[in-house]
């Protein structure tokens, strides 16, 4: 082989190596109309862990849920796990928006219907805190979805925060904080109503949406530790509340979207109840 042939061969090898493996094929659902057909597609991609398979699984579980005559928290969790996988894979903006939209809708549904939820918070404030945490998760995912959906979620979060502020058991400082949080959510909703185009998602929401389940568990533990540290240092209640709510949001994603928890996940989520009790104790303590 002459010099030109060697150069051509080298270039061909360079292009081949730099291009990497071919992307996994997309999964067509065009011929899958009923439950059996959808289940068959699921089985055919059960061994795949690529982005295309994750997108297909999320869509299939959504379709299966539509075909169910009764409420199925399990199908909801399976679909959400697949959508979280899509977001953590770093798919196209369109794929991210589709998955985030479903997640925002599902967490709002869980907030409004406890039968769909795997979370149960202890104490006399437990149920309303559960709703606020799930709506907070919905608002994070809603930042990547349609504007109108996010506006409705924020309005619901605002009204639920005001509902909590009216509870007689709260201390005056806690009432002030929850009214302030309600106002902030309402102001954000009003701002989005005045604007047009795509939502300019916050940096916090973008980070939250990119985490896979194990990372959510890690971030939940980190936020809980920071909240406890601030509480021990007698920092202001707003800072403690912010960390504890963020911890519960991270924990909530794992709790709600995992069908069968692993021992490490169960161990990590054991802190969820501790955080809820600590938060309730702080909100009801007289200054």
Most confident of 33-37, 64-68, 241-245: 241-245
Task: Tell me the two tokens of residue 61.
Answer: 């579980």
What local confidence, expressed as pLDDT, does residue 231 receive? 85
Region 154-180: mean pLDDT is 96
276 or 4, greater pLDDT: 276
Region 180-184: mean pLDDT is 97
> pTM of this prediction?
0.89
What local confidence, expressed as pLDDT, does residue 188 receive? 96
Q: Note the Cα 175 to chain centre separation in Å.
A: 27
* Dihedral of the alpha carbons of 142, 254, 245, 110, in degrees to the nearest 10: 60
Whether the Cβ atoms of residue 95 and residue 51 lie closer than 8 Å to each other: yes
CA end-to-end span of the chain = 87
pLDDT higher than 60, residue 287: no
pLDDT category at 196 given cuts 50, 70, 90 is confident
Stretch among 60-64, 189-193, 281-285 having the lowest mean pLDDT:
281-285
Q: Note the Cα 107 to chain centre separation in Å.
A: 8
What local confidence, expressed as pLDDT, does residue 263 receive? 94
Q: Note the Cα 51 to chain centre separation in Å.
A: 18
pLDDT higher than 60, residue 268: yes
What local confidence, expressed as pLDDT, does residue 13 receive? 47
pLDDT, the chain, mean: 89
Q: Calculate the alpha carbon distances from 171 to 30, 129, 163, 164, 191 in Å.
A: 57, 16, 14, 11, 30
Region 193-210: mean pLDDT is 91
pLDDT category at 22 given cuts 50, 70, 90 is low
Count Cβ neighbours within 10 Å for each residue of 12-50 and write b for 16 or more, e otherwise.
eeeeeeeeeeeeeeebeeeebeeeeebeebbeebeeeee
What local confidence, expressed as pLDDT, does residue 24 receive? 77
Domains of the chain by residue range: 33-284
pLDDT category at 92 given cuts 50, 70, 90 is confident
Stretch among 17-21, 70-74, 79-83, 141-145 having the lowest mean pLDDT:
17-21
What local confidence, expressed as pLDDT, does residue 5 receive? 54
Task: Tell me the two tokens of residue 271.
Answer: 């802190």
Residue 61 makes CB contacts below 8 A (sequence gap 6+) with 75, 76, 78, 79, 82
Residue 138 makes CB contacts below 8 A (sequence gap 6+) with 103, 104, 105, 107, 108, 111, 153, 157
């Amino acid at each position: 082989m002459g010099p030109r042939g060697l150069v051509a061969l080298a270039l061909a090898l360079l292009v081949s190596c730099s291009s990497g493996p071919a992307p996994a094929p997309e999964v067509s659902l065009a011929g899958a109309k009923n439950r059996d057909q959808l289940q068959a597609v699921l089985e055919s991609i059960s061994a795949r862990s690529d982005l295309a398979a994750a997108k297909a699984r999320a869509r299939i579980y959504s379709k299966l849920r539509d075909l169910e005559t009764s409420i199925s928290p399990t199908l909801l969790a399976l679909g959400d796990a697949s959508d979280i996988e899509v977001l953590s894979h770093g798919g196209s903006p369109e794929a991210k928006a589709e998955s985030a939209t479903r997640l925002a809708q599902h967490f709002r549904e869980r907030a409004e219907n406890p039968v769909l939820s795997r979370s149960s918070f202890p104490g006399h404030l437990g149920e309303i805190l559960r709703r606020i945490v799930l709506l907070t998760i919905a608002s994070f995912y809603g930042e990547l979805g349609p504007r109108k959906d996010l506006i409705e979620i924020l309005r619901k979060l605002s009204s639920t925060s005001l509902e909590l502020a009216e509870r007689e058991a709260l201390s005056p400082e806690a009432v002030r904080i929850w009214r302030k949080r309600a106002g902030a959510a309402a102001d954000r909703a009003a701002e989005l109503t005045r604007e047009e185009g795509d939502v300019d998602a916050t940096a916090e929401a973008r980070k939250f949406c990119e985490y896979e389940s194990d990372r959510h568990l890690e971030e939940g533990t980190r936020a809980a530790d920071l909240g406890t540290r601030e509480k021990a240092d007698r920092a202001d209640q707003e800072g403690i509340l912010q960390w504890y709510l963020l911890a519960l949001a991270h924990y909530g994603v794992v709790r709600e979207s995992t069908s069968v928890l692993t021992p490490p996940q169960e161990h990590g989520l054991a802190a969820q109840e501790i955080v809820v009790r600590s938060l309730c104790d702080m909100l009801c303590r007289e200054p």
